[in-house]
Structure 1
Amino acid sequence: MQKHFEEIIESFLEKRVGISNKFLSIDLAEQLKANLLSLYQNEAMKLAGIGNDHVLSHNRKIRSDKIYWLDNNNENAAETAFFRLIDEFIMYLNQTCYAGINSHEFHYALYEKGTFYKKHLDQFKTDDRRVFSMILYLNEGWATTDGGELKVYQQTGIQIIAPENQKCVFFKSSELEHEVLLTNVSRMSITGWLKTS
């Protein structure tokens, strides 16, 4: 995995957005997608809010995805493997970049056809513990007509990132505004943040 960790960090240092196209193995991506779809079919996923616990609201005109928060203590094998991978990446990030990350939070996210998330920053105004954002995609056979791209607002211009299966995207939560463009098919991911406590 060190190759994929280096790939993310090198591209992050060069372009402010780190990308690894094969961060998740095919098997792990498939298992996580199955978990997400099971939660969705059982109506366990809920409409995502805007803001944190102190100031939380729901506005479908800004954000319309459904989410389910992952529990690090869950005995699900795929989620255990996922958190092991994240912990390994955090250890590598701290050793090579002195990032000081000591916690994380992740949720499944599903954008149904016709949904989106307007331009925003990930770090809250009232809470600066989110240091890095990570998005890991679970969309097999994604095509350009499917929509749902990640649009990142860089100082040098717009960056459009396809939500392709196994891909990981990594950037500073306080720096880059971004949005999820209108999706024409169901769009699945695991989204989360590396934090300082």
Structure 2
Amino acid sequence: MQESFDELIDSYLQNQVGISPFFLDKTLAAGLLAHANHLHQSNTMFLAGIGNKKIKDAAQSMRSDKIHWLDKSSENEFEQAFLLQVDQFIERLNETCYAGINASEFHYAVYEKGTYYKRHKDQFQDNFDRKFSLITYLNTDWKDEDGGQLQTYQDEIPQKIQPHAQTAVLFKSNETEHEVTLANRTRMSITGWLKRI
């Protein structure tokens, strides 16, 4: 596990966007995918918003995905395993980069066919707690024509990342602009933020 942690951190330090293709093991990724599918099919997800309680995108024009927040009190074993792994990753990130991360929050994100998230940064305009964005993907057999890629921008140079199962992506929440391109099939991930509060 530490090898995948270091791969994510080292690639972030080198490229400002860290990628680890095997951050999640197969069993954990499959369990999280099954739970995300259950939440989606049971209509317990809701349309994601933009901004926080003080600043909202009333027109909801930036994004069209659905989300469900992870909860440390959840009885789902895969959620608990994921959140434990995140805590272990934070410990490693703090050890190696003196990041000072002391909190996190995560949600499932489901992009149905025809949905997207336009180019943006993850940090709120009036709250600077979010330091790093961490995205993990749950999709099997993903092809380029399926769309739904994460596209990051550095100096206006785009980098396209396929949302393959087990892959994790790390970047600074206040620096890296990114978008989710139009999805042509249902796409699932867990998206969250490593925070200093």
Instruction: Indicate if the aligned counterparts of 1:129 and 1:196 stay in contact, CA closer than 8 A.
Output: yes
- Render the CA deviation track for 1:123-155: whole Å, top value 9, x for unaligned: 001000000001100000001110000110112
Tell me how many residue pairs correspond in the alignment. Answer: 197
Structure 1 match to 2:54: 54
Instruction: Indicate if the aligned counterparts of 1:137 and 1:167 stay in contact, CA closer than 8 A.
Output: yes
Structure 2 match to 1:145: 145
Please give the alpha-carbon distance, in whole angstroms, between the structure 1 residues aligned to 2:124 and 2:62. 16
Please give the alpha-carbon distance, in whole angstroms, between the structure 2 residues aligned to 1:158 and 1:77. 37
Please give the alpha-carbon distance, in whole angstroms, between the structure 2 residues aligned to 1:182 and 1:195. 28
Structure 1 match to 2:155: 155
Structure 2 match to 1:175: 175
Please give the alpha-carbon distance, in whole angstroms, between the structure 2 residues aligned to 1:115 and 1:190. 16
Amino acid at match of 1:195: K
- Render the CA deviation track for 1:99-146: whole Å, top value 9, x for unaligned: 000000000000000000001110001000000001100000001110
Structure 1 match to 2:88: 88
Unaligned runs of 5+ in 1: none
Identical columns (%): 53
Shift of 1:156: 6.1
Shift of 1:56: 2.5
Amino acid at match of 1:66: K
Please give the alpha-carbon distance, in whole angstroms, between the structure 1 residues aligned to 2:47 and 2:32. 20
Structure 2 match to 1:36: 36
Instruction: Indicate if the aligned counterparts of 2:49 and 2:60 stay in contact, CA closer than 8 A.
Output: no
Structure 2 match to 1:104: 104
Amino acid at match of 2:187: R
Instruction: Indicate if the aligned counterparts of 1:148 and 1:181 stay in contact, CA closer than 8 A.
Output: yes
User: What SS does structure 2 have at the residue aligned with 1:134?
Assistant: strand
Change (3 A) 1:64 1:156: closer
Shift of 1:55: 1.7
Instruction: Indicate if the aligned counterparts of 1:149 and 1:160 stay in contact, CA closer than 8 A.
Output: yes
Please give the alpha-carbon distance, in whole angstroms, between the structure 1 residues aligned to 2:162 and 2:59. 25
- Render the CA deviation track for 1:37-76: whole Å, top value 9, x for unaligned: 1111110000000001222335443200000011112121
RMSD in angstroms over aligned alpha carbons? 1.0
User: What SS does structure 1 have at the residue aligned with 2:85?
Assistant: helix
Please give the alpha-carbon distance, in whole angstroms, between the structure 1 residues aligned to 2:145 and 2:63. 21
Amino acid at match of 1:109: A
Unaligned runs of 5+ in 2: none
Instruction: Indicate if the aligned counterparts of 2:25 and 2:166 stay in contact, CA closer than 8 A.
Output: yes
User: What SS does structure 1 have at the residue aligned with 2:101?
Assistant: coil
The two structures have a TM-score, normalised by structure 1, of 0.98
Instruction: Indicate if the aligned counterparts of 1:151 and 1:160 stay in contact, CA closer than 8 A.
Output: yes
Instruction: Indicate if the aligned counterparts of 1:30 and 1:138 stay in contact, CA closer than 8 A.
Output: yes
